[in-house]
Amino acid sequence: MAGTSRKSNTGLKIISVFLALLLWFYIANENQGIASSQTAGVSLRYTNLGEGLVVNGPERVAVKLWGSFRETSEVVAYVDLNGLGEGAYQLPVQVKTMQGAMFASVQPDKVEVVLKRTTRHEFKVSYRVNQSPPAGYQLLDVVFVPDRCLVTGDDAALKQVKQVISLLELGNTRESTSSRVKLSAIDANGSIIEKGIRITPAQLEAYVVVAQKQGTKKLDVKPQLQSNLPDGYQVQDVRVTPANVTLHGSEEALAELNEVIAEVSLQDRKQSFSQEIELAVAKDIKAYPARVIVDVVITNSSEEVIQ
C-alpha cells in the first residue's frame, strides 16, 4: 500500500512539472516570444555603499539567460555592500532578471571588491576652450557660479587630480550667454580622470562673455563738400586738421573702411570759413578725435581771395 502511495506521488510530481512547462510555453507564445538562451554583457552595480566609502571592482559581468524575451536591457546584475566597511571582499553577484526569463547564470558569480575610505579636496573651477568663438569674435571672460567644487575619492585617486575644469564649446557663440556645464578632473598631463573620484557639484552655471574682436586703424579724413556756392564763387582750397584720425571698433567693421568722411555744407557761403565738424562713422566705431577743423578757402572771380 505504501509502495502504491509513493508511485502515485511521483506520478503527480511529474505531471505537475509537465503542466508547468506547458503553461510557461503557452505564456511565451502569447507574448510572441521565442524560447532560447542568450548571453549578454551587463554593467555591474554596487548597492548600499556605506557613507564615506568608495568601491573598486569589476564594471561588467556576463549574464546567460534562458527563456522567452526580446531585450536584455532590463537585466540587472549587482553586488550588495550592505554593512561592509573598509577592506577587500569576495562577494556574490546577484541577478535580477526580466519578465519571460526562466532562470539566469552569471560569470563570474563572485567578484573581488575593495572598499576604501574617501577624502576630499576643494578646487577652484577653471576652464579649457575646446572650440573657439567664430572668426572676428573673442572670449573676454568666464564666470562660474559657484566657482569652487569638492572632489572626493581615495588618496591615490585624489593625488592625480591637478585641476577641475569645464570644457567649453564656443564655435557658435557670438554674444554673452549662460548655461549649465559639466565639470571634469584632469591630471598633470591634461588628461581627464574617469575613475575613482566624484565631483560635487557635477555641473554648475557658467557665464561666458563673448564679443567681437576690437582693433584700431588710422585713416585719412576726406572732406566732402555739400551743396553749391553762389554764382561767381569757387572753392580754392580745403584743409583738415588733423589730417588723419585713429578709429577703434570691431576688426570686421574696420576692415571695410578706407577713409573717414567730414561733411561740410557750403550753403549760402560767400567767404572763407573755418568750422569744427563731427566725423561720420558707424555708431559701433569710435574716432579719436571725434571732431576735426575744416578750413575752406573761397574766392570770387572778380576779387582776390576772400579771407
Residues 174 and 233 in one domain: no
User: Residue 4 falls within a domain, yes or no?
Assistant: no
Among 89, 117, 145, the domain boundary falls at 117
Position with higher pLDDT, 71 vs 177? 177
Nearest to 77 by CA among 101, 97, 103: 97
Residues 208 and 125 in one domain: yes
**Structural domain that includes position 190:** 119-212
User: Residue 260 falls within a domain, yes or no?
Assistant: yes
Residues 59 and 140 in one domain: no
Q: How confident is the model at residue 195 (pLDDT cuts 50, 70, 90)?
A: confident
> Which grid cell is 231?
554764382
User: Residue 289 falls within a domain, yes or no?
Assistant: yes
Residue 305 has pLDDT above 70, yes or no: no
User: Residue 81 falls within a domain, yes or no?
Assistant: yes
The CA-CA-CA angle for residues 306, 241, 289, to 5°, reads: 145
Domain count for the chain, please give it.
3
> Which grid cell is 48?
548600499
The values of phi and psi at residue 252, to 5°, are -65, -45
Return d(Cα 164, Cα 192) in angstroms, integer. 9
User: Residue 134 falls within a domain, yes or no?
Assistant: yes
User: Residue 248 falls within a domain, yes or no?
Assistant: yes
Return d(Cα 78, Cα 105) in angstroms, integer. 13
Among 73, 101, 117, the domain boundary falls at 117
Nearest to 226 by CA among 251, 262, 197, 252: 262
6-20, 35-49, 56-70, 236-250: range with lowest mean pLDDT: 6-20
Among 212, 229, 261, the domain boundary falls at 212
